[in-house]
């Protein structure tokens, strides 16, 4: 608890709170909208899911990658509120259920370890989504004899998955396993914090770039000439892309905004 | 000069300097590589430029948008070195001509206003690039009777251009025109700094998302079935996309990294 001793020195003014709540609410809406719109698109326009039909099996790919990876991991990003241990998921739940200003007090009661475990748990939930999402497109391509790994989308996707796996393994090792000898590993863990946070945001942004190229590719494959006639499905797909790009901007901004009311020292230590 | 009074309190250690130099060098290489590879691609594979042929007129679009906007504006982003007034352009030139560690002393001798004017000048240079780049594709589409503004690429592009124009006008007004009554506008300008910086990074990232969707679209239009056969041109186009995504990660990281050795107060005031 020692590292939060100087909590009361920092007073958040109205502007900082307004910005904080705005970022939480807007990014929550965008994260949910991206998933809902993708599910709607695959079910309404792409005829839903069926593992026996390679074309419908493909539809698992965007849903699991956007819903299971981007939305889940977006909610897991930690907002740098001084002396408040909160994950995005907690923030979101709290914003929904309490008057926003109460968040500060409520988040204080969660232990740092519980927040860490939540962060790990939600990222662990992404793993089956990513694996099944990847297998769905791989199998669907093979059955239709479409080659793999030729497009910009697939290249970016491979880099994203590799970085995610590395982040998960290194994060699990550094911030959970090494807790067994807490004092001896303190310095190493504090060095790892900014690296883990930066690569986490990098992975998220790579995922967004992968998703927008995937959507563009799918629009050209499925809609062909109709895409240029501004059909309804094209508008839905473009909207998913715009929402995802919005997320690619707001999440990194929320995670490390330059006008953070915290000073840098606290900012780093509170996230170890 | 008053606002830099406490310069000597901040000592950069080896790690911080190494990170700083690494970020400057890697992003400079990526910015130049993106432009060079795009020019090479359009000249070698897409038969260069010719205003009389709508297909070759189109080639101005990727070159001017990537070379004239992304590269130019990437170099203009300011790295948050405490008490060092430097723009990316200066950083880049200095890294090339001096032993990297000398940068600190050399940047100190540039006045804040000169850095600001450089920042404005390079962004102003982007304007004709964006306008001609936009006109090139607009005119080429119209001559070939291809519809406009239906794709995700065009939607993202419109948002990017709108945000760039807004940023330029507001930035010019806030940080240059308002200098005429320097003391009276100090508070307003200091409020505008984080907003201008955040929207600047957002515009840059939107440009990257626009570019990767544009590349994917172009690959499907021009290469068609050949794209899936992993042809040489496809590899070049994918590489441009990967480089651009790398820039979308490293530039925001450089501009406001969470492990900045400066404390937040200085970090904000030194960029007013």
Residue B24 has a pLDDT of 77
The answer to whether the Cβ–Cβ distance between B227 and A150 falls below 8 Å is yes
- pLDDT over 90 (residue B195): no
pLDDT band, residue A117 (cuts 50/70/90)? confident
CA distance B202 to B206: 6
- Indicate the fold that domain A15-256 takes in CATH: 1.20.120
- pLDDT over 60 (residue A228): yes
**Given B151, B205, B237, which is nearest A248 (Cβ)?**
B205
**Given B206, B249, B267, which is nearest A245 (Cβ)?**
B206
CA distance B88 to B75: 4
- Residue to test with chain B: of A167, A193, A206, A209, most B Cβ within 10 A: A209
Predicted TM-score (pTM) of the model is: 0.83
CA distance A115 to A51: 37
Residue A264 has a pLDDT of 36
- pLDDT over 80 (residue B225): yes
Is the dihedral angle over the CA atoms A141, A146, A148, A149 positive or is it negative? negative
CA distances from A61 to A138, A208, A238 (A): 9, 14, 17
**Given B156, B216, B227, which is nearest A245 (Cβ)?**
B156
The answer to whether the Cβ–Cβ distance between A220 and B215 falls below 8 Å is no
B59 contact partners, CB below 8 Å, separation of at least 6 = B42, B46, B47, B48, B49, B136
A257 contact partners, CB below 8 Å, separation of at least 6 = A19, A23, A80, B194, B198, B256
Q: Tokens representing A107?
A: 């988040």
The answer to whether the Cβ–Cβ distance between A217 and B220 falls below 8 Å is yes
Residue A28 has a pLDDT of 83
Which of A158-172, A242-256, B234-248 is least confident?
Answer: A242-256
**pLDDT tens, position by position, B55-68:** 899 999 999 999 98
Q: Tokens representing A141?
A: 């391509």
A211: number of Cβ within 10 Å: 29
- The structural domains of chain B, with segments of one domain joined by +, span 15-256
- Residue to test with chain A: of B230, B259, B270, most A Cβ within 10 A: B259
Name the minimum distance, in Å, from the CA of B7 to any CA of chain A.
17
CB B112 within 8 A of CB B85: yes
CA A248 to chain centre: 9
Chain A residue nearest residue B80, CA to CA: A258
**pLDDT tens, position by position, B136-167:** 999 999 999 999 999 999 999 999 999 999 99
- Residue to test with chain A: of B23, B34, B213, most A Cβ within 10 A: B213
CB B24 within 8 A of CB B79: yes
- Residue to test with chain B: of A9, A26, A152, most B Cβ within 10 A: A152
Nearest residue to A70 via CA among A215, A261, A176: A215
The answer to whether the Cβ–Cβ distance between A241 and B155 falls below 8 Å is yes
Provide, as residue numbers in chain A, all residues whose Cβ is less than 8 Å from the Cβ of B230: 147, 150
Angle at A150 between CA B36 and CA A201, to 5 degrees: 70
CB A56 within 8 A of CB A49: yes
CA distance B258 to B254: 9
**pLDDT tens, position by position, B68-98:** 888 888 877 766 544 333 454 444 444 443 3
The answer to whether the Cβ–Cβ distance between A245 and B220 falls below 8 Å is no
- Residue B145 Rama label (left phi>0; alpha psi -120 to 50; beta): left
Crossing angle of helices B232-255 and A152-175, rounded to 10°: 40
% pLDDT > 70, chain B? 76
> Quick one: average pLDDT of A53-58?
90
Residues across chain B: 272
Chain B residue nearest residue A258, CA to CA: B256
Place of tokens 């796996």: A165
CB B76 within 8 A of CB B129: no
CA distances from A56 to A80, A140, A167 (A): 41, 8, 31
- pLDDT over 80 (residue B105): no
Please provide the DSSP assignment of chain B as one string.
Answer: -GGGTTGGG----HHHHHHHHHHHHHHHHHHHHHHHHHHHIIIIIS----TTSHHHHTTHHHIIIIIIIIIHHHHHSPP--TT----HHHHHHHHHHS-GGGHHHHHHTS-HHHHHHHHHHHHHHHHHHHHHHHHHHHHHHHHTT---S-SHHHHHHHHHHHHHHHHHHHHHHHHTGGGGGTTTTHHHHHHHHHHHHHHHHHHHHHHHHHHHHHHHHHHHHHTGGGGGGT-HHHHHHHHHHHHHHHHHHHHHHHHT-TT-SS-HHHHHHTT-
CB B168 within 8 A of CB B125: no
**Given B197, B237, B258, which is nearest A256 (Cβ)?**
B258
Phi and psi, residue B148, nearest 5°: -110, 160
Crossing angle of helices B112-143 and B152-175, rounded to 10°: 150
Name the minimum distance, in Å, from the CA of B149 to any CA of chain A.
8
Is the dihedral angle over the CA atoms B205, B207, B213, B216 positive or is it negative? negative
Is the dihedral angle over the CA atoms B85, B90, B91, B97 positive or is it negative? negative
**Given A241, A242, A264, which is nearest B264 (Cβ)?**
A264
Chain A residue nearest residue B269, CA to CA: A259
**pLDDT tens, position by position, A161-185:** 999 999 999 999 998 888 888 888 8
Name the minimum distance, in Å, from the CA of A30 to any CA of chain B.
16
| HSE, side-chain direction, 13 A CA sphere, residue B183 | 1
């Amino acid at each position: 608890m020692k590292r939060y001793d100087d909590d009361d020195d920092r007073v958040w003014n109205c502007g900082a709170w307004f910005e904080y709540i705005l970022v939480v609410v807007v990014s929550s809406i965008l994260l949910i909208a991206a998933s809902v719109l993708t599910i709607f698109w695959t079910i309404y326009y792409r005829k839903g899911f069926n593992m026996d039909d390679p074309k419908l099996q493909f539809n698992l790919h965007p849903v699991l990658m956007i819903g299971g990876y981007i939305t889940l991991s977006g909610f897991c990003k930690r907002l740098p509120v001084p002396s408040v241990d909160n994950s995005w998921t907690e923030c979101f739940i709290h914003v929904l259920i309490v008057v926003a200003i109460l968040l500060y007090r409520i988040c204080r009661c969660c232990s740092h370890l519980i927040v860490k475990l939540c962060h790990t748990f939600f990222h662990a939930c992404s793993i089956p989504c990513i694996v099944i999402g990847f297998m769905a497109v791989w199998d669907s391509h093979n059955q239709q004899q479409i080659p793999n790994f030729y497009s910009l989308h697939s290249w970016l996707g491979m880099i994203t998955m590799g970085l995610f796996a590395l982040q998960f393994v290194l994060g699990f090792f550094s911030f959970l396993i090494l807790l067994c000898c807490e004092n001896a590993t303190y310095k190493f863990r504090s060095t790892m914090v900014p690296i883990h946070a930066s690569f986490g945001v990098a992975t998220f942004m790579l995922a967004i770039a992968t998703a927008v190229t995937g959507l563009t590719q799918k629009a050209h494959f499925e809609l062909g000439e109709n895409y240029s006639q501004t059909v309804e499905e094209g508008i839905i797909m473009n909207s998913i892309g715009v929402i995802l790009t919005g997320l690619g901007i707001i999440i990194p901004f929320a995670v490390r905004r330059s006008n953070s009311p915290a000073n840098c020292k606290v900012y780093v230590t509170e996230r170890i």
